Chain A
Amino acid sequence: MIVAVEGLERRYGAVRALKGIDLALEPGGITGLLGPNGAGKTTLVETLEGLREPTAGRVRVLGLDPIRDGKKLRLRVGAQLQSTSIPPDLTCAEVLGIHASFYPRGRARPVAEVLERVALTPKARALVRTLSGGQRQRLALAMAILHGPELLLLDEPTTGLDPTARRGLHDLVRRLRDDGCTVLLTTHYIEEAEQLCDRVVVLREGGIVADGSPFELLQRAGGSSTLWIACSGPFDPAPLIAAGAAPQGVDGAHHRFVTRDPAAAVVALGDMLRGQGLTLTDLRMKRPTLEDVYLELVGPEPVEAGDA
């Protein structure tokens, strides 16, 4: 087990940031911690990094205690903080050189190789202050993978990046996974979780509310699908209704139905067309997205006191 967390609690004064988290990570794959701001994602990741002490519960990363065995763990874990500050007056190569010196001799990979890996070779001699947001994030990632970690903890690695830069970072993370590194990242982008992650853990108010592959989450949540049906003539929707599809009105030539079981509705539609001697002129279907599932799990954005 790469990560084993049992009953993890973390309090800040009266605020319970984490309320009894149980989480186990097998080697390999990209796991995404998805949740709104304040859900406890960063607290959880920083507890795994040993930057925060748990109030209660048991945390093991690579079988080690992140607080007690911090030094040993840091040789095997790579991490990127949510807001990484890098000395602005040094070049990319210099920053990586400094970080390489923190590891035992021979442990860190050559700086040139790591720069190549994150596609920053042309920027090796550029000062950090001149880098774009995406380049800075890639440099932060380079700092995290310098020593070939077994586990990579990335806290919102793509926040604030434009779509192209985000795609580039996704490719990098996928390649790291393919090389056998286990990745745990936090995000509040649903598409990111869907496209990048093999497993998604949804956090809400310090607790886990869902856990599974993006596909599983879609299945499990069982949200409603919408069907738009257009036929050669008027029809009697009774077979569809019997199959669990509720008529929702008409959009131009299309009749709209909502159902939790689109497969049954499509079968019933076939029977209906044959029985009533009609032909289908158009069929459209909208499946629930991960976003629908997520919003169902997480609920509406709470309006904070004093926000007005």
Chain B
Amino acid sequence: MIGVLRAAAALYRGHLLALLRSRTAAYFTLLLPLLFLFIFGFVFGRIAPGNFDRLMPSLFTITIVSGSLFSVSIRMVTERETGVLRRYRLAPVSALSIVLAHGMMAFTTMAASVLVQAVVARLVFGFGIHGSALALAEVVALGGFSLVPFGLVVGSVASDTKVAPMMTNMLMFPLMFLSGSAIPFALLPEWMQRLARLVPTTYMVESLQAVIVRGLGPLEVGEPVLLLLVTGFIGVAMNAMVFRWEGTERVRWRNVLLATMVLALIYVVAFYTEPGLHIGQGFD
């Protein structure tokens, strides 16, 4: 296991160095999240003045979603497509190291984006947290943990660098629009508020809101946090079932389907048990 981690750490360092040497990556990691922040701040801030802190859970959720899903799948597909993975395979490195390194990388860029957003939001818009910063960090980490595995799954399943962003978009749109992240939850019609219980991002917004607005500790949030955790674990298991070293290996769609069904089942249960959500409340 130590060997697996050592290899993952070395691969992770390599990803990080390559990212720091490329300008487009810096753009997607830092500039784009800031652009989002300003659009949110000026547009929605105007609709609901004095409610800036209430907007931040939605904004963070968008950043976590895109940061967890987007570049990781492209990086993985590129490595497979260009034969980097095939070359790695000739050495005694385990697939776990490779997936882990990509996961840590996605997590890092996501966390960096959120951090930049939070700092700039504080300086420009006076964003403040009612709970502790640590609690916020924990919930952001949890959000990343729940979604990064699915970015990795796309990286293993997608056939090339054109398909990967398409698949990511297909994942991202329901995650953003069905939850209260792209549009404030309170503005969604009631049927959509119900449907929102079927996607993990709703619980992400809820958890973030709990620590930012209501000042709860992450463990006090309850079911939403639990759901994110379970989602992440299923995603991790899914990765073990779908990883591919080479594009010539068959995609194990049956495993993808199986894991998706388990996940769907959990969210259907959540849908019917209706864990109490606070994100619809409090907009004056």
Contacts and interface: CB of A to CB of B under 8 A. Distances in A.
A51 B86 contact: yes
A278 interface: no
Interface stretch (A13-21, A89-97, A157-165, A246-254): A89-97
Interface in B198-214: none
Contacts of B89: 51
Contacts, number: 66
Interface stretch (A80-88, A192-200, A216-224, A237-245): A80-88
A102 interface: yes
A74 interface: yes
Name B's interface SS. helix
Interface string B63-98: 000000000000000010011101111111100010
Contacts of A100: 10
A90 B3 contact: no
Interface residues of A, number: 29
B3 A87 contact: no
Given A101-B6, A102-B7, A74 B91 contact: yes
A89 B90 CA distance: 21
A85 B7 CA distance: 19
Residue from B6, B17, B91 with most neighbouring chain A CB atoms (10 Å): B91
Nearest to B88: A102
A74 B90 contact: yes
Contacts of B18: 87, 89-90
A101 B9 contact: yes
B92 A103 contact: yes
Nearest to A75: B92
A74 B92 CA distance: 5
A98 B8 CA distance: 9
A99 B91 contact: yes
Interface residues of B, number: 25
A231 B97 CA distance: 76
A9 interface: no
Nearest to B87: A84
A150 interface: no
Interface string B28-72: 000000000000000000000000000000000000000000000
Contact of B17 (A85, A86, A94, A99): A94
A49 interface: yes
Contact of A87 (B9, B10, B84, B91): B84
Contacts of A61: none
B221 interface: no
Residue from B17, B82, B92 with most neighbouring chain A CB atoms (10 Å): B92
A143 interface: yes
A284 interface: no
A94 B14 contact: yes
A74 B18 CA distance: 27
A68 interface: no
Residue from B17, B89, B90, B92 with most neighbouring chain A CB atoms (10 Å): B90
B264 to A, nearest CB: 35
Contact of A49 (B79, B88, B90): B90
A74 to B, nearest CB: 4
Contacts of A89: 17-18, 21-22
Nearest to B20: A89
A105 interface: yes
Nearest to B19: A89
Contact of B87 (A81, A94, A101, A147): A81
Interface string A125-158: 0010000000000000001100100000000000
B11 interface: yes
20 contacts: A51-B90, A74-B90, A74-B91, A79-B90, A81-B90, A85-B82, A86-B84, A87-B79, A87-B84, A90-B14, A90-B17, A94-B17, A98-B11, A100-B10, A101-B6, A101-B11, A102-B97, A104-B3, A105-B3, A143-B91
Interface of A: 49, 51, 71, 74-75, 79, 81, 83-87, 89-90, 94-95, 97-105, 127, 143-144, 147
Given A74-B91, A81-B87, A89-B21, 12 more contacts: A51-B86, A71-B92, A74-B90, A81-B90, A87-B79, A90-B18, A94-B14, A98-B14, A102-B91, A102-B93, A144-B90, A147-B91
